[in-house]
Chain A
Amino acid sequence: MALVEPISKKRSGLKLFIMTVFGRSYPRLVGMQRERSWIFFDIFVPLLSVSAYVFVYRAIGAPEDYVGFVVVGGAMTAFWMNILWNMSSQLYWEKEQGNLALYIISPASMMAILLGMALGGLFATLLRAIAIMIFGSLIFNVSYYVVSFWQLIAIFSLSMIALYGLGMMSASIFLLLSREAWHISNLATEPVYLLSGMYFPVKNLGFWGSAFGSLIPLTLGLDAIRQLIFKSGPSLGFLSVKIEIISLIILSIIYLIAAKFLLAHIEKLAMREGRLTENRR
């Protein structure tokens, strides 16, 4: 009798992609279940932080819609955080821990691994975003004025696709990084909040400032969502919702293709320079 029977069939293609996404998201889902201190720090505390910005507006006597802007901005931040900490800079930890090498030598696609990390963290992200939306809206009496529900869904979905595309693109850079990963991640927090108009209508950065900020899909997504759910939204919007939808479609396509290309390219570069397994600390 054989020691262990040979495997008659291994999945490949799309099925392998899905299995990989699920496989890598599993540790995150289970880990969060087993170690729950994140609930306080990842859900409750951000709510406080968002509130601080609401009270700044209250202190300087801003129109009430601005409070809503902050709440929506705060909720959307959660997705950026997910990309930044659960996907991109997580790769740095994977490298340090020796998992990255095992991912690379497996037939699984790096995009699937990255998506798995993000998807696993998405549960916490959604909870955080929903908590900020619900509690923020209730506590601060935010009144919504939804123009088009379908456009809203389209905008949100497109923003997410483009955002995660951008996330995977930037993750590829993390394949090359060692300690500077921390600093890059830090650079991608407050400066990104500023550029994407997380707490104010992005239009205020001026046309070129807003256009530059729009390279981050969060910017256009947020701007369009504000236009679609607040009364004063359209007057404070950067571009019309239609143009923003088209821009997001273009960004989604570009970022997804670029992510695939960049991941492959940088993996090759990292192989050449011996950076996939190095430990420069």
Chain B
Amino acid sequence: MENSVAINTKNLGRIYKIRNNRKEKFKELLALENVDLSIKKGELFGLLGPNGAGKTTLIKILTTLLSPTTGIATVAGFDVEKSPDEVRKRINMVSGGETSGYGLLTVRENLWMFAQFYGIESKVANDRIKRLSEIVGISDRLNTKSSDLSTGLRQKMNIIRGFITDPQVLFLDEPTLGLDVGASRDVRTFIKKWMNDNGERTLLLTTHYMVEADELCDRVAIINQGKVLACDTPSNLKKTLQKEAIFNINLYAPSGLEINKFKNITGVKNCVLSQKPESTTLDIILDEDSVLSEIITEISQQSLRILRLEKREPSLEDVFIKLVGQKIEEA
């Protein structure tokens, strides 16, 4: 194993056996399939996918909580199945919306307790709690019982819990879930600084917020239905769409529209409809600009009215639409 690789997976797969009630036979649910990933030390790597794509399953496997059904995974050079103890010395994890910790303990006490499980001396732990709470913005709430915290503050406490142990590899599973815009921005800024501080640190982040992935990650893997569909830097992923023309068309369509007629036009790679009470929007990826005229013809045939038409640069969202066929929140 190369020393420069922090996380490596080969043919990684996981099948869950589930049933709805005791009388039913177990059904197999494929959560991950042949996942090959190689994440370098120092990388901030993003896993991008909709709910149920397999992101959390992958994190569970990498954090030694779940065994893979097929393939192997190594973290910090150690096999997660064969040497979980070695892996555990080097990792930590924070999940969005988690309810861990003890309600009757204060924030400081909860954090101190978790630091003990990593062999961090009390003085060091307390110094770090103080420093990290200042950075994350809960230093004034350290003596509040965690049962009295709001969702956002609780999540900030969890984030500190993940960073306090100074892990070589940190897993953040939807870390900004439940945080407001400002707090999410603070967390993203902190993550960036944390990574810049030390080139040895590796961070795997799962998210379904495209902007978060785009802003933070060195590389991104797009995952859907257990499969990795693409893996590259955000800019390279976006470049794959540079040949195509991406349009965002705002329409007046009081009685709806027939989306399939747009999809069937030759040269339309993908077409996604978003309907909100105030507007109807078509996100269209075309082979080339010239196809636009046929789109406009179809719009007038369906008696729709264009309110706004915009050609824009490709975003990760467009990459996702191209690969999965729908927007992340609809997938």
Contact = CB atoms under 8 A, between A and B. Distances in A.
Nearest to B15: A274
Nearest to A1: B197
Contacts of B39: none
Interface stretch (A100-108, A153-161, A198-206, A237-245): A100-108
A147 B89 CA distance: 51
Q: Is the interface of A mostly helix, strand, loop or mixed?
A: helix
A9 B125 CA distance: 11
Contacts of A281: none
B165 interface: yes
Given A3-B197, A7-B166, A277-B60, A107 B101 contact: no
Interface in B249-263: none
Nearest to A22: B116
B100 A23 contact: no
Interface of A: 2-4, 6-7, 9-12, 15-16, 19-20, 22-24, 26-27, 30-31, 34-35, 97-99, 101-108, 113, 268, 271-272, 274, 276-277
B64 A105 contact: yes
Contact of B88 (A3, A97, A107, A274): A107
Contact of A31 (B64, B88, B102): B102
A100 to B, nearest CB: 9
Contacts of B161: 102
Contacts of A23: 112-117
B198 A105 contact: no
Q: For chain B, which range describes its interface: under 10, 10 to 19, 20 to 34, or 35 or more residues?
A: 35 or more
Given A97-B99, A103-B117, A105-B65, A27 B109 contact: yes
Contacts of B118: 10, 106-108
B116 A20 contact: yes
B120 A26 contact: no
B193 interface: yes
B119 interface: yes
Interface string B108-141: 0100111111111100100010011001000000
Contacts of B88: 104-107
Contacts of A271: 64-67, 81, 84
Shortest beta-carbon contacts, A-B, top 6: A23-B116, A11-B119, A108-B117, A31-B104, A106-B117, A16-B119
B22 to A, nearest CB: 11
5 contacts: A27-B102, A31-B104, A98-B99, A105-B65, A277-B66
Nearest to A98: B100
Given A4-B166, A10-B89, A10-B165, 12 more contacts: A6-B166, A22-B116, A26-B105, A26-B109, A26-B116, A99-B101, A101-B93, A102-B117, A104-B65, A106-B114, A107-B119, A274-B60
Contacts of A101: 63, 65, 93, 100
Contact of B128 (A4, A12, A35): A4
Given A3-B193, A99-B100, A104-B65, A19 B119 contact: yes
A276 B117 CA distance: 18
Contacts of A277: 60, 65-66
Contacts of B100: 97-99, 101-102
B66 A7 contact: no
B91 interface: yes
Contacts of A108: 116-118
Interface in B12-30: 16
Contacts of B166: 4, 6-7
Contacts of B197: 2-4
B294 interface: no
Contacts of B148: none
A240 B224 CA distance: 68
A22 B121 CA distance: 12
A103 B194 CA distance: 24
A16 B99 CA distance: 25
A27 B124 CA distance: 20
Q: Output the residue of A24, A30, A105, A108 with the most chain B CB within 10 A.
A: A105
Nearest to B64: A105
B92 A105 contact: yes
A180 B89 CA distance: 32
A116 B219 CA distance: 41
B65 A107 contact: no
B98 interface: yes
Nearest to B194: A3
B163 interface: yes
A3 B64 contact: no
Contacts of A107: 85, 88-89, 117-119
Nearest to A96: B99
A106 B118 CA distance: 6
A9 B121 CA distance: 8
A30 B114 contact: no
Contact of B132 (A4, A27, A98, A113): A4
A15 B119 contact: yes
A4 B165 contact: no
A19 B135 contact: no
A281 to B, nearest CB: 14
Nearest to B114: A102
Given A23-B113, A97-B99, A271-B67, A4 B119 contact: no
Contacts of A272: 67
A277 B93 CA distance: 13
A274 B91 contact: no
Contact of A7 (B102, B114, B165): B165
Contacts of B193: 3
A4 B117 contact: no
A229 B107 CA distance: 48
